[in-house]
Every structure is written in C-alpha cells, then in structure tokens.
A and B are shown apart, each in its own frame.
Chain A
C-alpha cells in the first residue's frame, strides 16, 4: 500500500495538481509537508502549487545507506542521467527509483505486478519495476514519467491525458502514461479493442478507462512511431 505521504490531496478538478502526475518528484512531498506545517490545506488553489522557492526547499538527494553489508554496485542511466548506487540486492527497481533517487513519479500500487502503477521503460520496453530487482539493470537505460517531457514541453501522451481528463485520483496515471508511450512504440493499439487489450496491465480504480482510451487515440494520431 502507498504510504500516507503519497496519497494525493482530495482536490477537485480546479485543484488538480499537475505536479502530482507530471512534475518534479520531490516537490510534492515537500509541498505536502508545507501544507501540514501551515495548516493551509483548505486554501490550496492551483496558483499556490507553483510557489517559487520549492526547488530550494528540496533536500539534496542522498541515497539511503543500505541495511545490508552485502551490497552490489549498480550503474543506472535514468532519464538521461547516470547514477551509481550501492544496493542491497533485494531492492526492486521501483524502490531504488522512489526511495534512493527520490523519483516518486513511478507509483507503488500492489507491489506484485498486478496493477501496473510502477510501469517504467527499460531500454525502451515497458516493465513492472516492482517485480524487477534493481541490481539486474546494471547499464540499462531507464525512462520514468519524470523523463518523458522535453523540458517544459509535455510528451504528447501527457498532454493528451490532460486534454481528455484521463484520471481522477491520478495514482495510476504515471504507469498508464508510460505504458501508453510504449504501446505507441510497439505499434499496438490500432483499434479501441486493441488499445484496451494492450493497456490491460494498467488498472485504474477510478475507472477513467474511457478517457484513457480517448487520450491514447489522440496521441497515436500525433506521435509518429
């Protein structure tokens, strides 16, 4: 189960926080801490989400020390940046991303490969990062939701998800988008039925499926594979 700090605030459509789904990994956690500190949660509007200085409040990323002495050195290229980590071999790729590198866009839903919230791209292919040990990925190129946008320019799939309101709580959305990006690359999804089948590894408890389908259809028309 996700920890409390990962639960998106219950904001209505006007309060939809793009940062939750598409944005910087750490700002949300810092942001939520700030809410707690100022008891200002009720006053949150979209404009407050881009408070200047959040970046500065970001604690430096310092990978946690492993509890095990039996660590393995792993080099990972994540969203174009190189990282060298000493990892307990038990650490999954998902936990390495979230807990070591603070890339919390990839979500832990079921942690058993049944929901798809942890979907990332490894060497261009979508996988469930919760069922893959990080040490297995030495020298692999990993793309997470944080790596899809080109600077300020959202990936067409991200833009389509916003355009079609393809989420409610947003927890499954990073996995849905990574999976959908891979689907385009695989050249699957040439009919509604096919898209549904090839997206079946991503569960949405809010039931945003019709809008997810609409977003993928639109992005498919825009992205040349």
Chain B
C-alpha cells in the first residue's frame, strides 16, 4: 500500500475544506472497498480523511410524510434492520442483506456503497495493462478477455464493467435522492443522475465532484413500495456478487392490473439499470407471467452479450419475470 497521511475530520465543513485542499485526498468511510483497492494498488490516495466520527448515521422520517432520510455513514447492517426500512421499503432491506457478509455490512456505509467500484478483474488487478477505467486510453482488457461478469446494457467499446452494488439497484427503483455537500453548500442529485454510463470516460463512475461529501440518501414516500422484492442471482447461495439482480415494486388494483411499477436491474450495466422500457409496458397491463415476459423482452431488446456473458440476457429476462411474480404474490 502506498504511504499516505491520515487525518480525522471533526465536522462536515472541515472534511470538505480538507479534501478541497488536496486533489489526491479521499474520504475514508467503512473502507471495505477503498482499503482493498489500496492493497491492490488500484487506489493510491496521498491522504485519507477519516469521516467516521461525523454525525451522519441516523435513519429518520422526513417531515410531512415525505419519506425517509438515511445518513451517509449509517452502516449497511443497521439500515437493513431498521424498522422504517423493513416496513416501508422491504426491497432495500433485502438488497442490503443480499450483499457481502455480516462482517462487511457492519463496516460498510451507505455513502461508501454508492461509490463502490467495479469488480471487473481487469480493473481490479494492475498486473493487467489494459483498463480504460484505471488507466484511461490503455484499452479494455475485458472486451476480448474473460468477460463472464460484464455488462450487457449501456456499455461502450471503452468499458464493459458492471456496477457491483445491491443497495444501489434498490435505490434506483425507489428513485432515491443523493444529498451532497460541497464548498458551495448542499445539492441534491437524482439517483438516475448519480452514476454514469461509461461512454468515453469510464474513469468517472459518478457525477460526484472531488470536493463533495455525500451526507444522506433520501427515500421519497412510496406507499406501494411495501410490496417490493429484491432478487439476486449469483454463483453461490450467499456472499457473491450478482450475475443479475432485480429490484421490483408493484402497485396493483383489485383485479391485479398494474397501476404503477418500479423495476431496476443489477449486474447488467455500468450503473444500476432502471428498466424504464419494461415499466412502460407493464403499467395498465394485467399482472401475469405473459405480461412480465413481454416487458422483460422489451427491456433486454437492445442487450448485447460477449464471449462469456451472453447467458445474462436470458437470465435477466427470467429474473425479471420471477421477481415480478414474487411481488405479485405478496399479500
């Protein structure tokens, strides 16, 4: 690991002053991804600003029934088990509990989870010379390499990496708002605008600026999210990243006609993939397997597979059908 200076931020303003002063500085939260990447030599910050003492761990109801606010330093395990989250947004609780291990969830923060970096082998190991995300302009080792875990939607010929977070797939479906604080004050970033597709700049995962601190994630009020589910498909029964995952919430009338739906996919793209095409097909239709399959076909129509990951296209379709069927059967 490269040498670095370590400092502890006493408050958010100080943290922002400190990071603004050093373009090579990074915030240290749970560290479950950052420390790992530093051990690998992928991340080489000159300074770590420890933000763990900042008072950003609350999960609380927003005034006026506007939803729930999750502090950026709330640990994944605490949010997963919080009564507000379990009762109103079960899809988010399930997504947290599908991720990593109990130990890692005790460490990992919500803000850090938003900033998880891809598990693409060619990114994660600097022994591979080619990675446009790690070393812009060097090429993409995965394109013609071993690309079983890679993207099928929204990728570019610069990068076919996927976003590894489970939490983020649920947050995409819930249309969360990311609240960030920078030198000029606070701003809100819509979840759909937080992460980026790779395009020609795969080195940028998100639209967060270097001098901005994530302070909270807001979950807008969404009563029908009580009927929601997170389905994760992976190589092992537990403790593995998703090959494909689905976050789904359904609002059904008495005749099982779909009044509203939220659907997002994980493991398929450079960012959590909101399945808007499928959602449009679903609204107003009968909640049955035929409808779900048609919506899945529409969503995956533009999908493109590679040597090792084409199986994900059919897997994603079937996962959508299964997740929506599971939500439909929730009483």
Give A70 to B47 CA distance when docked, in angstroms: 12
A113–B239 touching, CB < 8 Å: no
Q: Which residue of B lies closest to A69 (CB)?
A: B3
Chain B 220-244 interface residues, beta-carbon cutoff 8 Å to A: 237-239
The answer to whether A222 has its CB under 8 Å from any CB of chain B is no
> Looking at A88, A92, A111, A133, which has the most chain B CB atoms within 10 Å of its CB?
A133
Determine if B36 and A116 form an interchain contact, defined as CB atoms under 8 angstroms apart.
no
Q: Within 8 Å CB of B100, what residues of A?
A: 201
Contact A135 B103 (CB under 8 A): no
Complex CA–CA separation, A111 to B38 (angstroms) = 12
Stretch at the interface among B27-35, B193-201, B296-304, B309-317: B27-35
By a CB distance below 8 angstroms, the chain B residues around A197 are 237-238
A112 in complex: contacting residue of B1, B4, B39, CB < 8 Å: B39
B22: interface (CB < 8 Å)? no
Does A217 lie at the interface of the complex (its beta carbon under 8 Å from any beta carbon of B)? no
CB distance from A212 to the nearest CB of B (A): 14
Which chain A residue shows the least CB distance to B48?
A89
Residue in A closest to B32 when the chains form the complex, CB atoms: A131
**Contact of A179 with B103 in the complex, beta carbons under 8 Å:** yes
Does A34 lie at the interface of the complex (its beta carbon under 8 Å from any beta carbon of B)? no
With contacts A70-B5, A128-B32, A131-B32 taken as known, whether A136 is within 8 angstroms of B52 at the C-beta atoms is: yes
Chain B residue numbers with a CB within 8 Å of A136 are 28, 31, 50, 52
Q: How far is the CB of A103 from chain B (nearest CB, A)?
A: 18
- A56 to B: closest C-beta gap in Å: 37
Contact A127 B106 (CB under 8 A): yes
Q: Are B31 and A135 in contact, with the CB atoms below 8 A? A: no
A186 contacts partner chain B, Cβ-Cβ < 8 Å: yes
Judged by a CB distance under 8 angstroms, whether A72 is at the interface is yes
Tell me which residues from 122 to 180 in chain A have a Cβ below 8 Å from any Cβ of chain B. 125-128, 131-133, 135-136, 179
Q: Name the interface residues of B66-121: CB closer than 8 Å to any CB of A.
A: 77, 100-104, 106-107
A128, B4: Cβ atoms closer than 8 Å? no
Q: In the docked arrangement, what's the CA distance between A182 and B5, Å?
A: 33
Given A89-B48, A200-B238, decide whether A133 and B102 contact each other with a Cβ distance below 8 A. no
> CB-nearest residue of chain A relative to B238?
A200
Given A132-B35, A133-B6, A200-B239, CB of A127 within 8 Å of CB of B103: yes
The 8 Å CB contact of A90, one of B1, B101, B103, B238, is: B1
CB distance from A221 to the nearest CB of B (A): 21
A201 touches B36 (CB 8 A): no
Q: Give the shortest distance, in Å, between B36 (CB) and chain A (any CB).
A: 5
- What residue of chain B has the Cβ atom nearest to residue A182's Cβ? B102
A183 at the interface (CB under 8 A from B): yes
Evaluate contact between B35 and A92: CB separation under 8 angstroms. yes
Question: Do the beta carbons of B101 and A201 come within 8 Å of each other?
Answer: yes
| Contact call B6/A201, Cβ cutoff below 8 A | no
- B6 / chain A contacts, CB cutoff of 8 Å: 70, 72, 89, 133, 135
- For window 179-210 of A, CB contacts with B under 8 Å fall at 179, 182-183, 186, 188, 196-198, 200-202
Q: Do A113 and B104 have beta carbons less than 8 Å apart?
A: yes
A119 within 8 A of B: yes
Contact of A116 among B3, B31, B52, B101 (CB under 8 A): B101
Q: Which of B28, B100, B106 has the most CB of A within 10 A?
A: B106
Question: How far, in angstroms, from A132 to B107 measured CA to CA in the complex?
Answer: 8
Does A38 have its Cβ within 8 Å of any Cβ on chain B? Answer: no
Instruction: Please state if A133 and B35 are interface contacts (CB–CB under 8 Å).
Output: yes
Q: Does A3 contact B (CB under 8 A)?
A: no
In whole angstroms, how far apart are the Cα atoms of A200 and B238 in the complex? Answer: 6
CA distance A91 to B101 in the complex (A): 23
What are the residues of chain B within 8 A of A119 when measuring CB–CB? 103
Expressed in whole angstroms, the minimum distance between the Cβ of A173 and any Cβ of chain B is: 16
Minimum CB distance partner of A124 in chain B:
B106
Q: Nearest chain A CB to B111's CB is how many angstroms away? A: 15
- Nearest B-chain residue to A128, judged by Cβ: B103
Further pairs besides A133-B31, A136-B31: 17, Cβ < 8 Å: A88-B3, A112-B39, A113-B104, A116-B101, A119-B103, A126-B106, A131-B36, A132-B107, A135-B50, A136-B52, A186-B102, A196-B237, A196-B238, A197-B238, A200-B237, A200-B239, A201-B239
Query: What are 12 sample pairs from A and B whose C-beta atoms fall under 8 A apart?
Result: A70-B5, A70-B6, A92-B35, A127-B103, A127-B107, A128-B107, A131-B32, A132-B31, A136-B31, A188-B102, A197-B237, A198-B102
